[in-house]
Amino acid sequence: MSIHNDKTLTHLLDAIDEAAAGDVVSVRDVLRAIGDRSIMPLVLAVSILIVSPLSGIPTVPTLSSLILLVLMGQAMGRHRRLWLPDILLRREMPTHRVQTATGWLRRPCAWLDAHARPRLRVLTSGVLRPLTLLVCMAVAATMPFLEILPFVSSFSAGAIAMIAFGVLTRDGLWVLAGYVQVAVLVCIAVWIWPS
């Protein structure tokens, strides 16, 4: 799948809808539709899906967390082609749930695509790239623990989505927005954590 910077999220949603052709859609189907030559588009695809109401389905945030951690671990190692264990590739979800999620995401994703442009590039590459991956991995690692709180994992996934979107579009403003979301999550965690 070719991703153009002016329609990054819209193209991802199109690819996910293309994968959802039968009664169920698997992680393997989505991977085939998006391609395995670049890891960040799949990180973005998984995270934006969890921003949707799919995060309210039991085990979905945990499964997504595992996928994100494996993908970003490979990105840290600068792998050119991604790999996922077969147990994750076989995971399936009813097509109607996936299509409901992509439909729900269409309008906000189109808005984000329209407002992304190269800026603050220092935040999207070079020495700061490993930092973005480490932050995303730390946030993804919290998602299974947040699953008991309905839809809270959507906010975590939103932070990862913002950072991944910023990296893909070379728009550091969205990376910064993701960092702000992470800071808010940390503040909330400190506030509610029993002393």
pLDDT in tens, 111-148: 999 999 999 888 887 888 888 889 999 999 988 887 77
The CA-atom distances, in angstroms, between 17 and each of 27, 103, 164 are 13, 9, 20
Q: How many domains does the chain have?
A: 1
Using the CB atoms, write b or e for 167-182: b if 16+ within 10 Å.
bbbbbbbbbebbbebb
Look at residue 163 in the predicted model and tell me its pLDDT. Answer: 94
Is residue 139 within 8 Å of 160, Cβ to Cβ? yes
Look at residue 153 in the predicted model and tell me its pLDDT. Answer: 83
Backbone phi and psi for residue 113, each to the nearest 5 degrees, phi listed first? -60, -40
Mean pLDDT per 10-residue segment, the chain (195 residues): 61 89 88 79 89 84 91 80 84 90 92 91 84 91 81 86 92 94 85 65
Q: Measure the CA–CA gap between 71 and 128, rounded to whole angstroms.
A: 18
**187: amino acid identity, one letter:** C
Which pTM value belongs to this model?
0.86
Q: Which domain holds residue 168?
A: 5-192
SS3 17: helix
Look at residue 4 in the predicted model and tell me its pLDDT. Answer: 44
Look at residue 141 in the predicted model and tell me its pLDDT. Answer: 92
Look at residue 1 in the predicted model and tell me its pLDDT. Answer: 44
Look at residue 36 in the predicted model and tell me its pLDDT. Answer: 66
Look at residue 128 in the predicted model and tell me its pLDDT. Answer: 83
